[in-house]
Amino acid sequence: MRKKEATVLIVDDDADVLFAARVWLKRFFTKVLISESAQKIKGIVQENEPDVVLLDMNYRKGFEDGREGLYWLEYLQEVQPETVVVLMTGFGDVALAVESLKKGAFDFVLKPWDNDKLYATVNAAVDLARKNKKVIQWEKINQPPKLDYFESKSAVMKTAMNLAERVSPTDATVLILGENGTGKFVMAQQIYRQSQRNNSPFVHVDLGSLNENLFESELFGYAKGTFTGAEKDTAGRFELANGGTIFLDEIGNLSLPLQAKLLTVLQNQKVNRLGETKERKVDVRIICATNAPIYQRVNEGTFRQDLLFKINTMEITIPPLRERKEDILPMAEYLLQKFKTKYRKPDLYLSQTTKTEIENYNWPGNVREMENVLERAVILADKNEIHAHHLHFSQFEIQQNTNERLTLEEMEKEMVQQSLRRNQGNISKAADELGITRAALYRRIEKFNL
């Protein structure tokens, strides 16, 4: 049988697994590379541009929850999007398999594998990689230069970006403030990419959707047998971020007891897994974010002042879109280009009336809302021109009456109510529209007693 022209990379810390997989797959593909170290992935990918990466999910003792494999999956998707990733593990965790598939893995292989099934999976992945390369070549030809997400004419936004640029190379803690949908997560990623730790993990923790009972086990880890279901020693998010950056999103929602536990870890840079007395040293850079009125909460006694001091060596506020009107249309054009490429509609453009509607709208959901509006518009447009009727704005806008303005909390409650009504109570659809997780939406429903 003639070998298929393809480069396959196998990454696993077990030499026997590497040998067996390489010997088998070498029968079918022209180039099969192996590596026992995940840390070598970057160099191998840069030099060889593999079509398929067969990636083990666990590399270090005590790190058997697959998160390291998911980290490298996300890395490959970012730097080599045409490469197809097949994850493999010796732990038959269905939930982990589903998570990896949702995050973009092509398939999931359990060890020990059936040789015929392994070949069939890798062969299908190679075919997909070829299609990906053709699509990316098309995009390079048809896509004009891309604007930076935070490119701005606004003085307030330029100030925020200048602060981010200056603090990025340091290890200083950063607190990012701003309304929902302004781009706090994107800002955190940008600081990480420009930091000295950009070759180490970036771990995102959504504290707003984290159940209080799971706080310590998720962040600090746990020992085998600590509680029902703790079948193995498991590292927490801080250990997974060791050497890199941890992004603590929605930190303003933490209860006082959890704030105290977090403060202790931030001060000592040490964690105790649940069920253990041993302290584990961690070296992480801290970036936090919140849409809550954090200083007001300090004054009310619901947020610790010492924790605030600890997390805001540098404080960056991202202004809402309504406060930088000059950026609204350029941002819309930037996002339009993104969705034109995604849905293969390169000739789409905004009519002048549509541009006026976009500029005059208040964007209470900020950039996240704009993304949803423009993606729907691109999908609905059946010709080359996007008209105003293709835009489906939220029925809720921030009140412009100078004598009466909604508080941020009232605005958030109203947006949740409107979304639930529009989606007839469907939690999944409402969460997707709002740009938050189902768990985060449930927390808000409970918070606002909806």
Domains in the chain, please, with CATH? 4-142 (3.40.50.2300), 155-317 (3.40.50.300), 322-448 (1.10.8.60)
* β-strand pairing of 174-177 with 314-317: parallel
CB 209 within 8 A of CB 437: yes
Please state the separation of Cα 90 from the chain's center in Å: 26
Helix axes 408-422, 438-448, angle to 10 degrees: 120
Phi/psi region, residue 8 (left: phi>0; alpha: psi -120 to 50; beta: rest), is beta
Give the count of beta carbons closer than 10 Å to the beta carbon of residue 79: 12
- pLDDT value of residue 92: 58
- The pair of structure tokens assigned to 246 is 């941890």
List helix spans (H) across 275-322: 294-300, 305-311
pTM for the full predicted model: 0.58
CA–CA separation, 337 and 358 (whole Å): 15
Q: What is the mean pLDDT of each run of 10 residues along the chain (450 residues)?
A: 89 89 93 88 87 79 59 83 85 65 82 88 90 65 50 87 94 95 93 92 90 90 89 90 94 93 94 92 96 94 96 95 92 92 90 92 92 91 87 56 50 79 79 77 80
pLDDT at 165 (0 to 100): 93
Q: What are phi and psi of 89, to 5 degrees?
A: -155, 160
User: Beta partners for 91?
Assistant: none
Q: Cβ distance 297 to 252 under 8 Å?
A: yes
Contact 230, 222 (CB under 8 A): yes
Q: Are 334 and 370 in contact (CB under 8 A)?
A: no
DSSP symbols for 119-174:
HHHHHHHHHHHHHHHHHHHHHHHHPPPPPPTT--S-HHHHHHHHHHHHHTTS---E
**Structure tokens belonging to residue 13:** 């810390």
CA–CA separation, 330 vs 428, rounded Å? 30
Closest CA to 81 of 43, 128, 34: 128
217: helix, coil or strand? helix
pLDDT of residue 404: 39
281: which 2 tokens?
A: 């040293």
Q: Amino acid identity, residue 359?
A: E
What local confidence, expressed as pLDDT, does residue 273 receive?
A: 93
What pLDDT, on the 0 to 100 scale, is given for residue 400?
39
- Determine the pLDDT at residue 137: 61
- Measured between alpha carbons, how far is 13 from 167 in angstroms, rounded to an integer? 36
